[in-house]
A and B are shown apart, each in its own frame.
Chain A
Amino acid sequence: MSKPAAEHLRPPDRRWTRLFVARPAAVLVLAACLWAGHARAQEIYDPIEPVNRAIFAFNQVVDGLILDPAQQIYGYVVPEPAKRGVRNFLSNLAAPIIFVNDLLQGERERAGVTLGRFMINTTLGLGGIFDFASIVGMEPGHDEDFGQTLAVYGVSSGPFIMLPILGPSGLRDVTGTVVDAFVFNPWPYYVDDEVTLGVRIVDGVDTRYRIDPVLDDLEANSLDLYAAIRSGYLQRREADIRNGASPAGSSAYEDIFDQDFDDEQPLPSDAAPVDAGG
């Protein structure tokens, strides 16, 4: 009550933000830009793979103890319409960030869709719980983030990074995540920390619930779960960057199908260097 109104609109801990976020973010952006010249996504670039695999193993344990039970309870207890409402609400919260990134990518039409959907769903959709925009026939929503914006500017994905708890990412996308969260995300300016924290927890559980079938399938059918998740993540990112278009025609993808196997004689069995390691 004693706070002046203007102070209320400021993030509560600006100094902290500047010191621990803005500066590392700048460093990350710079570092990400260094990768801009690299060939994009030809081969998977995972220079800290042993570390990533260790973090992945840790994540698997945390998942088994906390996330998986939580998502199972969520899936069982919350009725389907309420789950849809949660998803709609969370998607609507992300609209301002998507809007800014639409604009930064020069996608004016998509920015218009994002803005229109946000205005309709926030009002007629009761704060975003109902996707009223889709009901009245507006174009479905889409995702954008600053990692994708950097990609549009020519920044390659950089080294693959497995984040604790949060899962697969990369240097460019971690950078994008930090910028989205601390620069473009308006909500911390308006709501209490407790609310933000609550939303985040729901978001995390809902996310885990939604990817559960994929994880199950990968676990059952992949030869190497880490490699499968890494490849799936990187391909999804590339698809998002292309705004959903097929990889067909991209050189990395087409090279695979250019290989001509007919001319390739097998090595004599006493000269197989690949198997030296055994």
Chain B
Amino acid sequence: MNNRFPPMQHRSMRAAEMRLGRRRLLARIGAVALLVSAPGLFGRSEALGAAAADPETFVTEVGDQVLTILDDASLDDAGKIAHLKTLLDEYADLDLLAKLILGRHWRTATADQRDAYVDAFRQLVMTTMADRLHQYGGQTFEVVGSQTINDRDSIVKSKIVQPSGAPPIAVDWRLRKSDTGYAIIDVIAEGVSLVVSQRSEVNDIVAKQGMDGLIRTMRDRVSKRDAIELPTDKAG
């Protein structure tokens, strides 16, 4: 009799809000996480990895290095990106992350496809990192604990502290220990894992367009974003 709006909509909006509300900050964490993670992400960093006595120290040191660059007022955006890329080049081994994201499709890829994919992935990480630089807004982070998963992997828990006083964001770092030291192999922001998310996208594209379609899509994305966002990069 009354013209009722289905309450379901209300509740659903609420649910979505609660769910996504916390995720709201994910974009900014995305920024921080990617930035903080990118250089240390994948570590092969003899100096850094070997120097860190334990996973918590490793994450703290990586984070401090990145924040130093981000907070450096003498650097403009291009300068910061260049520094972060240098860090990434110096310390990173993106291979494992690329493989983890490709998952079972790695097995069925040819040698050429593997090389092309890893190369495209590497460029995409760089592009994304540069894009997210603008989302950084004075956040700091503190390590709050760690947990051993098995004999090679461990999780370091941290909190990204918001300068606005908004609730801190929980970011977990998954580290793998190797002969050369620790390497970060996943970032989990408020329960959302970088590797899981990327796997899901990559899986979908490979299923529909094949491995070559995936590589094409990644390359397109890189060239499109470089053209729009980083004209200076192209020029240089």
Contacts from A to B (Cβ < 8 Å): 12-13, 16, 44, 87, 90-91, 93-94, 97, 140, 143, 145, 147, 163, 165-167, 169, 173, 176-178, 180-182, 185, 188, 193, 196-197, 199-200, 203-204, 206-207, 210-214, 216-218, 220-224, 227-228, 230-233, 235-240, 242, 244, 246-249, 253-254, 256-257, 259, 261, 264, 266-269, 272-278
Contacts of B202 in A (CB 8 A): 223
Contacts of A269 in B (CB 8 A): 110-112
CB-based contact A266/B110 at 8 Å: yes
| Bound-complex Cα distance A240 to B190 (A) | 9
| Bound-complex Cα distance A228 to B193 (A) | 12
Which of A97, A140, A231 lies in contact with B200, CB distance below 8 A? A231
Given contacts A214-B26, A239-B190, A247-B191, contact A257 B174 (CB under 8 A): yes
Query: B12 near A: Cβ within 8 Å?
Result: yes
Contacts of A176 in B (CB 8 A): 15
Which of A13, A97, A213, A224 lies in contact with B205, CB distance below 8 A? A224
Which of A91, A207, A228, A264 lies in contact with B20, CB distance below 8 A? A207
Query: B27 near A: Cβ within 8 Å?
Result: yes
Further 16 A-B residue pairs, CB within 8 A, beyond A166-B9, A246-B188, A278-B212: A44-B203, A94-B14, A143-B18, A166-B16, A178-B8, A204-B13, A217-B132, A240-B191, A242-B191, A244-B170, A246-B157, A247-B196, A248-B149, A256-B195, A266-B114, A278-B209
Given contacts A90-B14, A266-B110, contact A236 B192 (CB under 8 A): yes
Contacts of A249 in B (CB 8 A): 149
Closest chain-B Cβ to A93's Cβ sits at a distance in Å of 8
Closest chain-B Cβ to A67's Cβ sits at a distance in Å of 11
Given contacts A90-B14, A200-B9, contact A274 B105 (CB under 8 A): yes
Contacts of B23 in A (CB 8 A): 211, 214, 232, 236
Which of B3, B17, B100, B167 lies in contact with A210, CB distance below 8 A? B17
Query: B231 near A: Cβ within 8 Å?
Result: no
CB-based contact A185/B26 at 8 Å: no
Contacts of A274 in B (CB 8 A): 105, 108-109, 206, 210-211
In the complex, chain B residues 170-212 whose Cβ is within 8 Å of any chain A Cβ: 170, 172, 174, 176, 185-186, 188, 190-193, 195-197, 199-206, 208-212
Contacts of B108 in A (CB 8 A): 267, 272-274
Q: Please, how many residues of chain B have a CB less than 8 angstroms from a CB on the other chain?
A: 87
Interface centre among A173, A182, A232, A237 (most CB of B within 10 A): A232
When C-beta atoms are compared, the residue in chain A nearest to B225 turns out to be A220
CB-based contact B20/A210 at 8 Å: yes
Given contacts A236-B20, A256-B103, contact A223 B201 (CB under 8 A): yes
CB-based contact B12/A177 at 8 Å: yes
CB-based contact A181/B218 at 8 Å: no
Contacts of A204 in B (CB 8 A): 9, 13
When C-beta atoms are compared, the residue in chain B nearest to A12 turns out to be B2
Given contacts A217-B30, A244-B170, A259-B100, contact A266 B111 (CB under 8 A): yes
Given contacts A210-B21, A247-B196, contact A222 B201 (CB under 8 A): yes
CB-based contact A207/B13 at 8 Å: yes
Which of B24, B103, B109, B211 lies in contact with A211, CB distance below 8 A? B24
When C-beta atoms are compared, the residue in chain A nearest to B167 turns out to be A140
22 contacts between A and B (CB under 8 A): A16-B4, A91-B18, A140-B167, A147-B15, A166-B9, A173-B15, A181-B7, A181-B11, A188-B4, A196-B5, A196-B10, A211-B24, A221-B131, A223-B218, A232-B197, A235-B192, A235-B197, A239-B191, A240-B19, A267-B108, A272-B109, A275-B211
Interface centre among B14, B106, B110, B202 (most CB of A within 10 A): B14
Which of B30, B128, B147, B205 lies in contact with A248, CB distance below 8 A? B147
Given contacts A140-B167, A224-B201, A235-B196, contact A264 B107 (CB under 8 A): yes
Closest chain-B Cβ to A22's Cβ sits at a distance in Å of 13
When C-beta atoms are compared, the residue in chain A nearest to B2 turns out to be A12
Given contacts A90-B14, A256-B196, A261-B99, contact A214 B167 (CB under 8 A): no
| Bound-complex Cα distance A55 to B4 (A) | 24
Contacts of B99 in A (CB 8 A): 259, 261
Contacts of B73 in A (CB 8 A): none
Given contacts A242-B191, A272-B108, contact A223 B217 (CB under 8 A): yes
Query: B235 near A: Cβ within 8 Å?
Result: no
| Bound-complex Cα distance A220 to B127 (A) | 11
Contacts of A90 in B (CB 8 A): 14, 17
| Bound-complex Cα distance A225 to B21 (A) | 19
In the complex, chain B residues 14-65 whose Cβ is within 8 Å of any chain A Cβ: 14-28, 30-31
